Amino acid sequence: MANPHLAPTDPAAYRFAVHCCGYKWELTDKPDRAVALFEHSSAALKFGQAMWPSTFEVINVTTGERVCA
């Protein structure tokens, strides 16, 4: 049974992807997959800054453009 305290999730609403960008420190040569998706760019930027302050990038998955702080 679904939890009535949680709103239904609409995957289309999560348009900001956070990437940790291990390639910037030459940790990998493979494409960097998104580690988190957010509905709001501000939340995505705060998450990236907290987790990987010197390497993260936030991408708008709808346009493909980088979101800057």
Task: Provide the pLDDT confidence category of residue 1 given band limits of 50, 70 and 90.
Answer: confident
Domain ranges of the chain: 11-67
CB 59 within 8 A of CB 65: yes
Instruction: Specify the pTM.
Output: 0.84
62, exposed or middle or buried, with CB in 10 Å at 0-12, 13-18, 19+?
Answer: exposed
Tens of pLDDT, residue by residue over 25-64, are 888 888 889 999 999 999 999 999 999 999 999 999 999 9
Tens of pLDDT, residue by residue over 55-67, are 999 999 999 999 9
Check residue 38 and give its pLDDT. Answer: 97
Q: Is the dihedral of CA 22, 24, 26, 30 positive or negative?
A: positive
E strands present in 1-69: 16-19, 36-38, 57-60, 66-67
